[in-house]
Amino acid sequence: MVKFKNQDLTPITTKIKMFEEFEKNLIRHSPIDFYQNLRIVDEMHQLALFLGVFKENQAINREDKIRYARAINFASKAS
């Protein structure tokens, strides 16, 4: 097998595990931004509308958006 300059021959499963560990560490040490999570929920809802998961007249009310954002915040704390 020919090895090129700067070629990483680490197996992909090891890279995936390293990335997952990096991601968990990043989430664990990042401050929780409630308003950013509200924006994420809003963008996910827009994507669901675009993909046809929800109908246009099926809007998420404010209380549900807050509940979803709290769920995201809780999931971030649990990681």
pLDDT tops 70 at residue 2: no
SS (H, E, C) 27-63: HHHCCCCHHHHHHHHHHHHHHHHHHCCCCCCCCCCHH
Q: CA 66, CA 77: separation in Å to the nearest integer? A: 16
Q: Is residue 38 part of a domain?
A: yes
pTM of the model: 0.44
**Which residue matches tokens 């996910």?**
44
Q: Is residue 71 part of a domain?
A: yes
Q: Is residue 17 part of a domain?
A: no
Q: Is residue 57 part of a domain?
A: yes
Please give the residue range of the domain that contains residue 71.
32-79
Measured over the CA atoms of residue 68, residue 73, residue 74 and residue 79, the dihedral's sign is: positive
pLDDT tops 60 at residue 12: yes
What angle do helix axes 62-78 and 34-51 make, rounded to 10 degrees?
Answer: 120
Q: Is residue 72 part of a domain?
A: yes
Q: What total number of domains does the chain contain?
A: 1
pLDDT tens by residue, 13-33: 888 899 999 988 988 888 878
